[in-house]
Structure 1
Amino acid sequence: MSTPQPPMPQAAPAWQTDPGSAYPTYTSPIPVVRTRLGHALSSEWTKIRSVRSTMWTLGVFVLLVVGIGLLVAALVAANSGTSELNGQNPLSFGVFGLLLGSICLMTLGVLTTASEYGTGMIRTTMVACPSRGRVLAAKAVVFFAVAFTVTLVSVGLVAFADVALLDGARTPSGGEWLKGTLGISLYLALLGLLSLALGSIIRHSAGAITIMIGVVLAPLVIALFMFSDSLDSVRKALFEYSIPNQLSVFYSNSLTSSGPSGWDPLWIMAGVTAAAFAGAYLLLERRDV
């Protein structure tokens, strides 16, 4: 006859009674780790690179900026003589693609926040990271890094191509190179951040995108139809501070002789974006998810 084996030791139960307590307490076998900003950044990076909307919007952005920028430069080079291009900044021909491409960045910025409210994913996000300000900050940092990098690469490619194609144009100075590449990339990334903040405030993708398109195009369109002399000052202000004109300022090609100049559009956009984020944060803390 075989000798009976002693019973195997069993793991301690998860439910245990603390000494002096009549109720059992539960000890989770999963280690509890306090979440930090790095965890939120990793989560938002996983989200933004895994959804299809990111690839589509950024792909269309690159296609518009690079495609239209090269097409305009090629047409100008083929139909303009050396004398007509003399004195012009060759980098300025890239603004046509950037104006259309900005709509793609605004769309992605809105979707980064508003789409989670549409799908209900925001509940899971807030359970995983109860600090709402940290979630908003992580979304802003990840989006800004992606938008700025893609814009800088696209704008830089168009800038070098424009200089190579337009032999009759003057050579841009160092300051013009800096404004036409780094400056414009920071401006568009901030414009996308403004859209992200508006998406958090509105919590509706279509509504926020519509508002942002109106912010970009409406001032210029309204100014074009102001024929009364009494509205001259209003018309002038709308021209000067419209997004298309501010984009042109980075290439020293403003639509008006007054208004923002140099790096002014960047500081204006930074101030407006900061105010929008302050409002988004306050509403995020006070609202239910």
Structure 2
Amino acid sequence: MGRLIKAEFRKTLSLNTWWILIIPLVLVAFWMSFVWGRITNDFADYIGSGTARIIAGQAGVSADALPVGLLSIAHGVNIAQLIPAIFGVFALAGEYSSRTITTTFLTAPNRVSALTAKMITYLLWGALYGLLSFAVAALATVVTVNGDRLPSGGEWLAALGGTVLAYALVTLFGIGFGAVLNRVVLAVILLIGWFLLVENVLLVALWNTSDIFGAILPNGAANGIVGGIAADAFGISSLNLPGDVEHWDKLGLQLAAGAPGVISWWAAALVFLAWTVMFFAAGWASNQRRDIT
């Protein structure tokens, strides 16, 4: 297994995909965190003084002292996590397109070993992308947010752990999604369209009906891992918000945390893990039978 994992790393490093995708990852994570750092540095004015007083009162602190830097980090890493998902698409679908999958399967003892090595390799790649994304988002946050509004030491660590977890899972999700469709271009277009447009439109359109969609749909659940950490810190997850917060104010608050409809970070992680397992298992099963000639 060690040799297969080493071979997978050599294979990915021999291509340009891994470093080309770092460019949009860094740009998106930095500038989204930079912009939201600017906005959330004046958090009380942004969400409205009345609602700010409710949240601050629950937290037992002054509204000006809330760790709004968490909101900046959450937005940066959440938008940028689409990049490792795209990277994951190339793991299997890319090999079928380039016709290197035959060599991959024939040089391994069996397909299970080859796919397991690929899974472990891309988990590590996802974690590395997560570390880089967090570092860039944290830098933008420190530059734009006042010192008394930055996260505490424990909140920094929680956001880092959540980012690494989310990026590892979303990379596996991309592998499974690409393996099921077996078409790189189609998978990438559908991923971008769903994550950035379709799901967000559905979320807003159906918000009056139910706010549960943000917690159970793939993008919402993925965003809810780091966004849920920010939401929990502010007491603005779906379970913690006071009853006197208006329904649409609730959406605005949770959008500020990058996690509309989120229940809690760990619940979001479990939901997205279920989506990841479903797609990865489907991709795994289809590749056990797929012809490689």
What is the letter of the counterpart of residue 42 of structure 1? K
SS in 1 for 2:263: coil
Q: 1:87 aligns with which of 66, 70, 80?
A: 66
Query: Given that residues 184 and 250 in structure 1 are in contact (C-alpha distance below 8 angstroms), is that contact kept between their aligned partners in structure 2?
Result: no
Structure with the higher helix share, 1 or 2: 2
Q: Offset of 1:77 from its aligned partner?
A: 4.5
What is the letter of the counterpart of residue 131 of structure 1? N
Q: Bigger relative contact order, structure 1 or 2, given CA contacts below 8 A and separation 6+?
A: 2
**CA distance, structure 2, for counterparts of residue 127 and residue 53 of structure 1:** 24
Within 5 Å, give how 1:76-225 maps onto structure 2: 77=41, 85-159=64-138, 162-163=141-142, 165-167=144-146, 169-170=148-149, 172-217=151-196, 218-225=198-205
Count of residue pairs the alignment pairs up: 247
What is the letter of the counterpart of residue 17 of structure 2? S
- The corresponding residue for 1:22 is none
Query: Given that residues 41 and 68 in structure 2 are in contact (C-alpha distance below 8 angstroms), is that contact kept between their aligned partners in structure 1?
Result: no
Q: Offset of 1:153 from its aligned partner?
A: 3.4
Greater displacement, 255-264 / 51-60: 255-264
Query: Given that residues 215 and 268 in structure 2 are in contact (C-alpha distance below 8 angstroms), is that contact kept between their aligned partners in structure 1?
Result: no
- The corresponding residue for 1:284 is 287
Q: Judging changes above 3 Å, is the alpha-carbon distance between structure 1 residues 130 and 204 closer, same or farther for their aligned structure 2 residues?
A: farther
TM-score under structure 2 length normalisation: 0.73
Gap regions ≥5 residues in structure 1: 1-36
**CA distance, structure 2, for counterparts of residue 211 and residue 130 of structure 1:** 33
TM-score under structure 1 length normalisation: 0.74
Gap regions ≥5 residues in structure 2: 46-61, 240-261
Greater displacement, 122-131 / 208-217: 208-217
What is the letter of the counterpart of residue 93 of structure 1? S
SS in 1 for 2:146: coil
Q: 1:72 aligns with which of 27, 36, 51?
A: 36
Q: Judging changes above 3 Å, is the alpha-carbon distance between structure 1 residues 198 and 130 closer, same or farther for their aligned structure 2 residues?
A: farther
CA-atom RMSD in angstroms: 2.8
| Structure 1 runs of 4+ with >3 Å offset | 74-81, 168-171, 253-256
Overall identity of the aligned pairs, in %: 23
Q: 2:271 aligns with which of 263, 268, 271?
A: 268
Q: Offset of 1:155 from its aligned partner?
A: 0.7
